[in-house]
Each structure stands twice: as C-alpha cells, then as structure tokens.
Amino acid sequence: MNQPADPSEAGERSPAQPALESTSPLEWVIAAMGGALVAATLAYLVICAMAEPPRPPAVTLSVTSITTTPGGYLVSFRAENTGGQTAAGLQITGELRDGEVVVESREATLDYLPQQSERRGGLFFAHDPAAHEVSLRAHGYADP
Amino acid sequence: MSVASATNGAPGVHPAFLRGLGRAFAGALIFALPMLMTMEMWRLGFYMDPGRLAVLLALTVPMLVGLSRFGGMRPTARLCDDVADAFVVLLVAALAATVVLYLFGVLSPGMSAREVVGKIVLQTVPGSFGAMLARSQLGGEPEARRDKGAPTYWGEMFLMGAGALFLSFNMAPTEEMVLITYKMAPWQSAALAVVSLGLMHAFVYTLNFRGGSVRPGHIPAWSVFARFTCVGYAIVLGVSLFTLWAFGRTDGDSLRNIISASIVLGFPGAIGAASARLLL
C-alpha cells in the first residue's frame, strides 16, 4: 500500500491490472469477524423487534443503602424496569411512615429508565429512616 | 490470493493493513465523536425501535461498499474487496464506539443487552462512515494512486446520498431539530428549501472549491441544475425523511410537520451532499 513505485510490482503487473490490491488473508479474517458481528447484531435486533409487543414499563423500587450525611440521611435506591418499554421522566416518591402517618416525603425524577435495565438514585431525609418505615413508589412517566 | 502474494509480497501486506486499521480507528473517532458525546444518541440507542435500528444497520453495509468503491481504505480491484473493507470498518467502528462509550460511563453493568447493543450499533453507523473515509481523507498516498476516475451520474447521486446521511445523522437525534421545526413559519420552510438548493449548486459548480465540477460549455446551466442539483436535493430530502423515520421523529406527527422537519434536516443534508461530491 505504501511502497511507491515498487519495481517488482511494476514488472509483474499485467497491463489489464492496475496498481490495485487484493485482500490479504488477515483482512479476510477480520472482515469475516465484522460480518459475523453485523449478522449477529441484525438477528438480535430483529428478534427484539418481533418479541417486543409493547409491554408497558414495570418498575420495581428497592432501597440499597441508608447512610448518614451532614444534613441528615440518604436513602439510596435502585429502580428496575422489567417491562418492555422505556419510562422517561419517571417520578419516584419516598416516604417515611409511622403506620398511617407520613413523617416525611421526598421526590426524585429519573430521566430515563430503559426496558430490562436498572438505574440508581437517592433521596435525602431529615428524619432517621431507620426509625421509620421506608416506602418507595413510582408515580408516572412519559413515553420517550 | 496468489496475485496478492505475488505483487505485494507477504511481509509488506501486514504492516500496511495494520496501518489501515489504525487509520480507520482514527477516522471512526474523528467523524463519530460529536455523536459519541451527544446524549440524545445514547438515549435513542435504547428507546429507538429495534426493527428500524436493524434497517439502519443493514443499509449501512451497501453504503459502505459503495463508499469503498469511490474512496475507501485502499484502491480496490474487485467488489468482494470492497465488501471485505466494509465489514472491516464496521468491526473497527463498533470497537471504537464500545471503548469510548465505556470510558464515558455510558455503558455500565446493570444495563440490558438490548440497551448496550442499541447504543453501540447507533454509533457504529457514523463511525464506520468515518473509518471508510479515513483512507481517502487521511491517507498518505499520492492523489493519483487512488484516483478511480470521475464517478458516473449514479455514482454522484450515491455520493450525495451518503454525504446527506452522514451529516443529517449529526443533527437528527437532537431536540433542536424538533424545536426549529416548531419555530418556523411555512414561508420560512419554503425559503430554507430554496436556500439549500442554491447552496448545493454553488458549492459544486460556482465557488470553484478543489474537487468541484466545471460545467462543460455545451451543457446549459439549467440542465446541470435540473439533473444534478434538483435530483440531488430530492435525494437529500428522502434521506432526511428516512433518518427522521428511523429515529422515530415522524411518529404521530402531522404531514406538515414531517415535511417541515425534512426540510430543516435537509439543510445540513444538502451541505453534506455537496461536500461529499467535493471530498470524495
């Protein structure tokens, strides 16, 4: 490719064949890998397209940790979408409860929670969550 | 294969090919970086319809084969060499996209396979264009060695389509596209279409850029305008419409908005189409 005016090349070339290169075995190997990757990806996407009747988002929320912060307490949560569609602008409310009494309520918004994926976030409380019942709920979302 | 070993010599093949791979990687990064760093592109990766993403990827293969004919990684003799190049650059572009997205933290554990695959595939498309063009734009060979002669009429139309697709890919995912469409009055849409047409024609025929075409004296100006610029712009609008559809931007929109959005996206597309004829 980068050998200018290679005399042996010039000598062996027939007039009908200009200075063009054929594909080396190594390149064929890499091309085959590329081809296999493209074929596999296409197959996967087509399967996804066919096996995905728009199943609405199904959100599960769980508390992953409670830590103290300088201003109070942080409840970290994990949101998992087991549905077949993405939830955009997902609103999440966390409450500290004493039975029926809501002691404190905080909200967070997840920009996107894709299908079959998880995202993490946190809610800041002034009261100690360990002394109360923590409840997490998803309120609503928009189609992206 | 025997021809290859006879003309190039076995030791010479691999370093040159590896250098070509390196260039392709660089090209994928240069052309795809704006998109790798656009959050709408990451999001489209998971909420875009998988069927449309498959159509996009499937169409990329013949586009790359065509680009390889006119520019590409190396001077190629046969169509099967172009096909090989197309799959090589797809692999390189997928690798580049995966590495960069992972370093950016856009790919992380806890994401579904669908999300990861979608994000990578969407970036692989522009990256592979860049990788394919890397040879023609960054290559060290003298012009003459890779000169394959002037493309035919259909070749020029194809190049315009490829240029339009590449540039519209940069803009189509952004929120601004939709916003601009809503801000424009109908007369502004019409004016933008006229301006796009004028710019396309000027880029190639009037401003005398390197690579531009000189209209042969015996062909009247209106004929060149009708056959090249107008048909080219129609291709640009078609490509814009396809890109908007692929990204789900046409879903549930009124016909007027769809036409208007095609014209807005056709503006960068027209510049891309004209540039493609200059660059390639």
H helix runs in chain B, sequence order: 2-8, 10-36, 39-47, 50-70, 79-103, 113-138, 143-146, 153-171, 175-183, 186-201, 221-224, 231-246, 255-279
Quick one: pLDDT at residue B170? 86
Neighbours of B211 (CB within 10 A): 11
pLDDT score of A125 more than 90 = yes
C-beta atoms of B81 and A22 within 8 A: yes
Instruction: Give yes or no for a contact between B31 and B126, defined as CB atoms under 8 angstroms apart.
Output: yes
CA distance A87 to chain B (A): 9
Would an 8 Å CB–CB cutoff place A115 in contact with chain B? Answer: yes
Q: Tell me the shortest Cα–Cα distance from B142 to chain A, in angstroms.
A: 9
Work out the pLDDT band at A9, boundaries 50, 70, 90. Answer: very low
B48: left (phi over 0), alpha (psi -120 to 50) or beta: beta
What confidence tier does A78 reach under pLDDT thresholds 50, 70, 90? very high
How many CA atoms are closer than 13 Å to the CA of B9, on its beta-carbon side?
13
Residues of A in contact with B91 (CB under 8 A): 30-31, 33-34, 37
Per-residue pLDDT of chain B (280 residues; tens, 9 = 90+): 343 434 444 444 577 788 888 999 999 999 899 999 999 999 999 889 999 999 999 999 999 998 888 765 455 667 888 898 899 999 999 999 999 999 999 998 888 899 999 999 999 999 999 998 886 555 544 443 444 556 788 888 998 999 999 989 888 988 888 889 989 999 999 999 999 999 999 888 777 666 666 667 777 888 888 888 999 999 999 999 999 999 988 888 889 889 999 999 999 999 999 988 777 6
- A22 near B CB under 8 A: yes
CA distance B162 to chain A (A): 20
- Look up residue B266 and give its amino acid: G
Residue A7 has pLDDT above 60, yes or no: no
Res B20: pLDDT: 84
Strand partners, A59: A81
First to last CA, chain A: 48
What's the one-letter identity of residue B193?
A
Distance CA B248, CA B240 (A): 12
pLDDT in tens, A13-51: 334 434 455 778 888 899 999 999 999 999 999 998 887
Q: What is the pLDDT of residue A14?
A: 39
Pick A1's closest partner by Cβ from B16, B114, B121.
B16
Q: Give the pLDDT of residue A144.
A: 79
Distances from the Cα of B193 to the Cαs of B171, B217, B232, B233, B272, in angstroms? Answer: 17, 28, 13, 9, 15
Q: What is the pTM of this model?
A: 0.81
Three-state SS at B235? helix
Model confidence band, residue A116 (pLDDT cutoffs 50, 70, 90): confident
**ipTM of the assembly?**
0.82
pLDDT at position B51 is: 93
Which chain B residues contact residue A77 at CB under 8 A? none
Contact flag A34-B88 (C-beta cutoff 8 Å): yes
The pLDDT value given to residue B8: 42
So where are chain B's domains? 1-149, 150-280
Residues 6+ apart with CB under 8 A from B5: B13
- In residues, how long is chain A? 144
